[in-house]
A = this chain, B = another copy of it.
Amino acid sequence: MNNFVYHNPTELIFGRGQISHLKEKVEQYGKNILLVYGGGSIKRFGLYDKVMSILNEQSCKVTELPGVEPNPRLSTVKKGIELCRQENVDWILAVGGGSVIDAAKAVAVGVPYEGDVWDFYTRKAVPEKALTLGTILTLAATGSEMNRGSVVTNWETKEKYGAGTTFPAFSILDPENTFSVPRDQTVYGICDIMSHVFEQYFTHTPEIPLQTRFAESIMKTVVENAERVLANPEDYDARANILYCGTMALNGTLPMGVETDWATHSIEHAVSAVYDIPHGGGLAIIFPNWMRYVYRENAERFKRFAVEVWGVDPSGKSDDEIALEGIAATEAFFRRIGAPSRLADYQIGDENLELMAQKAVPFGPIGKFKKLTSEDVAEILRMCL
């Protein structure tokens, strides 16, 4: 086990009707609020009205930043920063999925910063202050509701980067708010959650038995609830299990003492910076190919993955065979739930392959399980065609 420091101050408020806690949060953080949301689904499904009715009852002054994009854009973030400064808001409430929360985090750290908020994403600066942020999550996927990560796309330069920004002070997770998530978004969310675990599971760090089992626990639980939630989108318990897994997959629990990878996320960010495809869809395509490209670095780990997560019977098989069977099972799972499996599914050919490979390694080689250069990335992307 490696040395580590873990600190996660987010208050997680989970379950049916937990939106009622919003009242006490207004009392705690103030009545002058920036409300951040996305394309309007929260209006269609009544959540917007529920939120506004609580805020209005408390006589809040609400400024709105609607229309946050699925890959949230720097221009939108800057609009939010401007609004906060103009209106001198007390705190930010993000209602939506990971993109909305990521954009709100960028706004939260951008407001008290004198420079360009993009500095945090290009690693020119590290956020030191932030406005208070609360979230109401509507999609099981990114884990952004309980971590300090934020991913923003600069559409002018076609760059998509992540940064450490600020933890939400609180996040309200009501599984019922995910009932209306469309099938494809549900699938992408599941791919995203699984991918987060992969990034933290494939490691060379020795002596991490509990971290290993925790990761396997999440993967098994996601797999066993995925088809259930797709069959019945209003299955409260299945939605709750997936939602809870999404948070636990990326709230700092899994990487305690573990060297994590994150190369595949960099590759996906490069792809969706150029093509604006759904993040979860990109990950479902790239991950099995990344696995095939790197598994020999630690076949033992991939063997365990195959046996523990996918129930591969190891008897009479070589390590390589077992590992490859596990990778095939991963790919089959993604396909079974309806995720894309090739870049061609998004009409992406090899036109921009070198460009994407370059964009994936902006600050030098990526990944810890196997260090990848732009040549490696190009090779993996070729396997994805």
Interface of A toward B, CB cutoff 8 Å: 1-18, 21, 206-207, 209-210, 213-214, 216-218, 220-221, 224-225, 237, 240-241, 244-245, 248, 253, 256-257
Identify A209's interface contact among B5, B7, B213, B241, CB under 8 A: B241
Q: B5 to A14, Cβ gap below 8 A?
A: yes
| Residues of chain B with a CB closer than 8 A to A15's CB | 1-4, 257
**Alpha-carbon distance between A216 and B4 when the two chains are bound, in angstroms:** 23
Structural contact, A210 and B241, CB atoms closer than 8 A = yes
Q: Which of B12, B245, B248 contacts A5 (CB 8 A)?
A: B12
Contact of A207 among B21, B237, B245 (CB under 8 A): B237
Closest to A4 in B: B14
Task: Answer whether A210 and B5 are a contact pair too, CB < 8 Å, given A14-B256, A217-B217, A257-B15.
Answer: no
The chain B residue sitting closest to A3, CB to CB, is B15
With A and B bound together, what is the CA distance between A6 and B21 in angstroms?
A: 13
Identify the closest chain B residue to A211 (Cβ): B244
Q: Which of B7, B21, B210, B213 contacts A11 (CB 8 A)?
A: B7
The answer to whether A9 and B6 touch (CB under 8 A), given A1-B237, A210-B218, A217-B217, is: no
List chain B residues, Cβ under 8 A from A224: 209
**Nearest chain B CB to A170 CB, angstrom units:** 8
Report the 7 A-B pairs with minimum CB-CB distance, sorted nearest first: A3-B15, A213-B217, A207-B237, A7-B11, A6-B12, A210-B221, A9-B9
Distance A208 CA – B317 CA, assembled complex (angstroms): 34
Min CB gap A164→B, angstroms = 16
Compute how far the CA of A245 lies from the CA of B257 in the bound complex, rounded to whole angstroms. 13
A257 touches B244 (CB 8 A): yes
Chain B residue nearest to A220 in the complex (CB):
B213
- In the assembled complex, the Cα of A237 lies from the Cα of B15 at a distance in Å of 37
A20, chain B: closest CB distance, angstroms: 11
Residues of B within 8 Å of A12, CB to CB, are 4-7, 256
Instruction: Kindly list chain B residues whose C-beta atoms are within 8 Å of the C-beta of A214.
Output: 214, 217
Hey, which chain B residues are within 8 Å of A4, CB to CB?
12, 14-15
